[in-house]
Structure 1
Amino acid sequence: MTRKYKVLFLCRENSARSIIAEALLRELAGHRFEAFSAGPEPAARVHPIAVAQLRPGISDLGALSPKSWLEFTGEWAPRMDLVIALDESVAGHHAPLFPGEPSLCHWTFADPLADEMPEPERVRLFEKVFWQIVRQISTFIELPQYAAMREGVVSVESPACVGDAV
């Protein structure tokens, strides 16, 4: 059996961007990656507009739920290979230490929940961010260090990040 890279996406409330990234990585390359998401202040539920963006192409929406990043810090937690912060407030020095000393990356996306805005604008921003995350995930899974994984061989190099998102 081939080892899968474990990737944790972080966002403050873990209800939109990190959930979208987790779902997309699982759907597009779940045979090579185990995807997780969490945040320091998890929301009560996945944001309905995030669910609406994912609904057409994601097979297991029921597996998605906001989680505290503390669930990934204990000795019993899965050992991540890579942690990707999608929010300035959780990047670098703000994030807790995760077991196994995973690489830490930061991808920058607008927060579709940041400000009060009319619902039509929020929906458009969600759609824009969704497609930015699709492009970023697609680029990430094609990085050379993961090419061997497509052929059933695991690279021993540490995971790398794609540059910051636009």
Structure 2
Amino acid sequence: MQNILVLCTGNSARSILGEAILNRLGALRFQAFSAGSKPTGRPNPFAIALLDAKGYDTSLARSKSWDEFASPDAPKLDIVITVCDSAAAESCPYWPGAPVSAHWGLPDPASVTGSNAEIAAAFAQTYAALTARVEAFLALPEGLPPAEMKAALTQIGKMP
């Protein structure tokens, strides 16, 4: 089983959604985690509401620092995926195991202003985009060499 870390600066929206989707759709192949460089301290309520509505168990969802995954006793990471441009541009900690990294940048639904319906629609759009990317990821052959995995994940990150 591979360990995947989904990163975003605040670890409140996109990375929380990515972690949940990877754990549901890839349950037999992956264990996903999420973290942020500057965690907000709690998942965005719209992210939790969307996941709850789709039947996810959100009881363990939490906003946490990426430092948790750089410690010697942290899970060995196989893949690190950034989902926001600011996290992709930051200097990441050293990840034990030298995981494959890729960028799947998406607009931040937490930055959307407007009615609750408009904000919820932005979260639904992000969820749909992440789901499509995770499905494409799951369609890849297992056991790809690191360079091929990185190239494939980078291409997936360019999906709309």
TM-score bracket, shorter-length normalisation:
0.7 to 0.9
The Cα RMSD (Å) is: 1.7
Please give the secondary structure, in 2, of the residue aligned with 1:8. Answer: strand
Deviations 1:49-94 (A, max 9, x none): 1111111334421121111000011111111111000011111553
Q: Determine the C-alpha separation between the residues in 2 that align with 1:64 and 1:58.
A: 14
1:131-146 maps to which residues of 2 (within 5 A)? 131-144=128-141, 146=142
Instruction: In structure 2, give the amino acid aligned to 1:44.
Output: G
In structure 1, the partner of 2:159 is 165
Deviations 1:120-163 (A, max 9, x none): 3211111111111111111111112x2xxxxxxxx262243124
Q: Deviations over 1:96-139 (max 9, x none)?
A: 22111111100021101225444332111111111111111111
Q: In the alignment, what sits opposite 2:126?
A: 129
- Check the 8 A contact 2:5/2:81 in 1, yes or no: yes
Asked if the contact 1:27/1:58 (under 8 Å) is kept, the reply is no
Cα separation, 2, equivalents of 1:96 and 1:117: 36
Matched-pair contact (CA < 8 Å) for 1:50–1:126: yes
Task: Mark the CA change 1:105 to 1:58 in structure 2 (over 3 Å): closer, same or farther.
Answer: farther
Find 1:105's aligned residue among 96, 102, 113: 102
Question: What are the ranges of 5 or more consecutive residues in structure 1 without an aligned counterpart?
Answer: 147-154
Q: Which residue of 2 aligns with 1:41?
A: 38
- Structure 1 ranges of 4+ moved more than 4 A: none
What residue identity is the alignment partner of 2:67?
Answer: L
Structure 2 match to 1:27 = 24
| 1:81 partnered with 2:78 | yes
| Pairs aligned (count) | 154
Percent identity of the aligned residues? 34
Aligned 1:57-72 pairs, distance under 5 A: 57-72=54-69
Scaled by the length of structure 1, the TM-score of the pair is 0.85
- Secondary structure of the structure 1 residue equivalent to 2:80: strand
For 2:61 and 2:134, how far apart are their aligned partners in 1? 17
